[in-house]
């Protein structure tokens, strides 16, 4: 609070502020003025049972809701179409608030993986929406509380801050709050306050309008000739078939005014220019001896970058020679862009796979978070194909050095604990033998004496993969009893997830049936649980069948405008990759056409499955060939050693 009072330069308006945890609460939290309400998992922290992930979640949610006491409560948006102003700004500020309390948590870089990467994925589909859009019904209001509103909103404020400078953005924010105190305001009002800052030699409103009024994002394509780099832009879509689709009308014709930042092999100082939406191209000139250019420094800009193959090769070579050449966020950015561009058919897959292989020498949480997520996506894509064996060989080889470094022994370091859970989860999911053995040993020790639980920071891995490997009805029954008796909300969620790991179909089916009873699973956790079960390959079809057969019952219980009901569909169908599954979805949607707050979620689900089908058709052969070569070379290298 002291930090925010100082940041906004406006004192807190009320005589008190209470934070209250509510046992069954549909949202994560709600910023009621002076009396903020939370889910228990978003507020209650206990040294002995909470993990580093839990700790950060509590810190982030509290920081978000406290920021709303100014941005949202003291000044409120005029109408729901400007919801991004409230939620995007609070989502941006929560990182500053937590950074103030925990500078060692590296929140600036965590922003990239927690907010930016997930929303770039959604915004690259036709199911996206502009962050400012007309809202005309209660269902639309509910649906609007989504990743685009929160995370794209936050990412655009971050880009704006980088463009105008931190001090100017702060001054403008104070001016805006003071000017509209106890009243409502609009996006236009906020941008007016920014524009009034001295010394800005560009049109803030016009630049920002290209981002707030149209959905989607650009990819900047870089073409080198001599010492000149020519930049062009086009809308980035994850599925190339969508380029032929009829685009929703856009006032800027899907062109953006892009704040370009860059560094190069000969100058680590950040340079910048603005690539205006009405220019066909922008150019950068570097001295001849520059071997590489890296555009979008620390990924502060809301856009992707694609280079020519020689430029990619130079970047990968620099990265492999010394990863410290690039900042933490830049390494995360290169991984994220290369994988996304390859999956979209805009970059040769060998570039992305070659780039990921630098992870063998990576030690930091943020790039590894992108790495494990890229490995998981690939795993899901090839899971039912003959590429799977070679793929696991490749992925385990990348993971082995870091797994051996972090081990199952927990440290005091927050980021190392976050890294540990990511890489151990990834290793276990890919059948990494020693990690699975360790998980089973600790799991059996725990079940033998349940009062001595594993450390909170490895509990998720031990519980989940322990039960998956032991896989008996007796073990499942024992964990179920512990789950029912558990009163700590965070621990209860860990146990709830553990129970979804079992590979026995009838046990999973029984779990689905038992979950309907609120004395077994709280209403707030019901859809979370079904989502967990659906990520288990054995449980996926069980949940899909159950939801289709019981749709009317679900709507009766939760209501068609319950957004978590709508979001369940893309969660269950995320890994579907056949025409048959796509037809099943289309038939289901035709049978129950009314989607309420899940309208956009249905479209997202269909797009994701079409993209999965397309991925296999376009990339399977190429990826298969690369992996086969990799495995062959690795075995030759091993024999020589």
Annotated binding-site positions for Zn(2+) = 64, 68, 87
| 174-182 LR contacts (CB < 8 Å, sep 24+) | 174/8, 174/9, 174/10, 176/75, 177/8, 177/10, 177/70, 177/71, 177/74, 177/75, 178/10, 180/75, 181/10, 181/74, 181/75, 182/74, 182/75
Maximum distance among all Cα pairs of the chain, rounded to whole angstroms:
73
Residue 225: phi and psi, rounded to 5, are -140, 120
**Known catalytic membership, residue 579:** no
- CA dist 491 and 177 (Å) reads 40
Token readout for 70 is: 């100014």
Strand, helix or coil for residue 305: strand
Cβ–Cβ < 8 Å for 370, 328: no
Please say whether the dihedral angle defined by the alpha carbons of residues 309, 304, 416 and 444, taken in this order, is positive or negative: negative
Distance from the Cα of residue 387 to its chain's centroid? 26
Closest by CA position to 258, among listed 284, 238, 227: 284
Where residue 555 falls (left for φ over 0; alpha for ψ -120 to 50; beta otherwise) is alpha
* Residue 467 near residue 479, CB atoms below 8 Å: yes
State residue 49 phi and psi, 5-degree precision.
-120, -20
Contact status, residue 568 vs residue 547, Cβ threshold 8 Å: yes
Beta pairing, strands 183-185 & 75-77: parallel
For residues 244 and 247, give the distance between their C-alpha atoms in angstroms, rounded to a whole number. 8
CB-based burial label for 530 (10 Å; 0-12, 13-18, 19+)? buried
Question: One of 31, 40, 65, 143 is an active-site residue; which one?
Answer: 65
With 0-12 CB in 10 A as exposed, 13-18 as middle and 19+ as buried, what is 349?
A: buried
> Could you count the other beta carbons within 10 Å of the beta carbon of residue 239?
22
For residues 21 and 36, the answer to whether their CB atoms sit within 8 Å is no
CA distance 214 to 156: 13
Candidates 291, 287, 145, 303; CA nearest to 220 is 303
Q: What is the DSSP letter of 68?
A: T
List, as residue ranges, the binding site. 64, 68, 87
* Residues classed as catalytic: 65
């Amino acid at each position: 609070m002291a930090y925010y009072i100082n940041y906004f330069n406006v004192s807190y308006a009320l005589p008190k502020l209470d934070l209250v945890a509510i046992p069954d609460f549909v949202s994560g939290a709600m910023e009621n003025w002076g009396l903020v309400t939370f889910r228990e998992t978003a507020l209650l922290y206990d040294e002995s049972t909470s993990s580093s992930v839990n700790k950060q979640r509590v810190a982030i949610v509290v920081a978000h809701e406290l920021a709303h006491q100014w941005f949202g409560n003291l000044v409120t948006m005029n109408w729901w179409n400007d919801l991004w102003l409230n939620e995007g700004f609070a989502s941006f500020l929560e990182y500053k608030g937590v950074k103030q309390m925990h500078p060692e948590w590296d929140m600036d870089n965590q922003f990239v993986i927690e907010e930016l990467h997930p929303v770039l994925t959604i915004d690259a589909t036709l199911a996206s929406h502009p962050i400012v859009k007309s809202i005309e019904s209660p269902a639309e209001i509910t649906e609007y509380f989504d990743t685009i509103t929160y995370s794209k909103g936050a990412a655009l404020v971050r880009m704006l801050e980088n463009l105008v400078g931190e001090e100017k953005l702060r001054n403008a924010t104070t001016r805006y709050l003071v000017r509209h105190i106890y009243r409502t305001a609009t996006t236009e009002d906020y941008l007016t306050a920014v524009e009034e800052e001295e010394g800005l030699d560009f049109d803030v409103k016009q630049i920002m309008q290209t981002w707030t009024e149209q959905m989607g994002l650009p990819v900047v394509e870089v073409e080198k000739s001599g010492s000149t780099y020519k930049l062009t832009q086009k809308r980035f879509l994850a599925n190339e078939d969508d380029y032929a689709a009829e685009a929703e009308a856009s006032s800027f014709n899907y062109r953006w005014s892009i704040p370009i930042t860059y560094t190069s092999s000969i100058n680590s100082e950040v340079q910048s220019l603005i690539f205006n939406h009405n220019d066909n191209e922008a150019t950068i000139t570097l001295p001849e001896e520059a071997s590489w250019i890296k555009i979008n420094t620390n990924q502060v800009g809301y856009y992707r970058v694609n280079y020519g193959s020689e430029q990619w090769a130079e970047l990968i070579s620099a990265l492999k020679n010394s990863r410290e050449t690039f900042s933490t966020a830049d390494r995360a950015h290169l991984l994220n862009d290369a994988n996304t561009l390859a999956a979209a058919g805009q970059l040769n897959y060998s570039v992305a796979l070659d780039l990921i292989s630098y992870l063998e020498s990576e030690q930091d949480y943020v790039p590894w978070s992108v790495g494990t997520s890229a490995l998981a996506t690939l795993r899901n894509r090839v899971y039912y194909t003959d590429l799977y064996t070679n793929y696991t060989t490749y992925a385990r080889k990348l993971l082995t050095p870091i797994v051996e470094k972090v081990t199952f022994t927990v440290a005091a370091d927050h980021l190392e604990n976050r890294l540990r859970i990511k890489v151990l989860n990834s290793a276990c999911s890919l059948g990494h033998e020693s990690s699975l053995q360790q998980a089973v040993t600790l799991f059996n020790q725990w079940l033998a004496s349940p009062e001595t639980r594993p450390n909170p920071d490895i509990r998720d891995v031990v519980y989940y993969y322990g039960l998956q490997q032991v896989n008996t009805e007796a073990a499942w029954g024992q964990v179920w009893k512990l789950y029912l008796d558990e009163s700590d909300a965070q621990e209860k969620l860990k146990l709830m997830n553990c129970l979804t790991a079992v590979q026995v179909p009838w046990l999973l089916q029984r779990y689905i049936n038992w979950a309907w009873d609120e004395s077994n699973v709280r209403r707030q956790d019901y859809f979370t649980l079904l989502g967990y079960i659906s990520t288990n390959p054995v449980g996926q079809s069980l949940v899909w069948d159950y939801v289709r057969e019981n749709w009317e019952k679900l709507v009766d219980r939760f209501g068609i405008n319950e957004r978590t009901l709508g979001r369940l569909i893309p969660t269950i169908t995320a890994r579907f990759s056949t025409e048959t599954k796509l037809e099943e979805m289309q038939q289901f949607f035709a049978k129950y056409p009314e989607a309420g707050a899940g309208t956009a979620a249905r479209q997202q689900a269909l797009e994701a499955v079409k993209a999965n089908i397309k991925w296999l058709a376009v990339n399977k052969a190429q990826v298969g060939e690369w992996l086969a070569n990799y495995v062959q070379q690795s075995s030759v290298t091993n024999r020589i050693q």
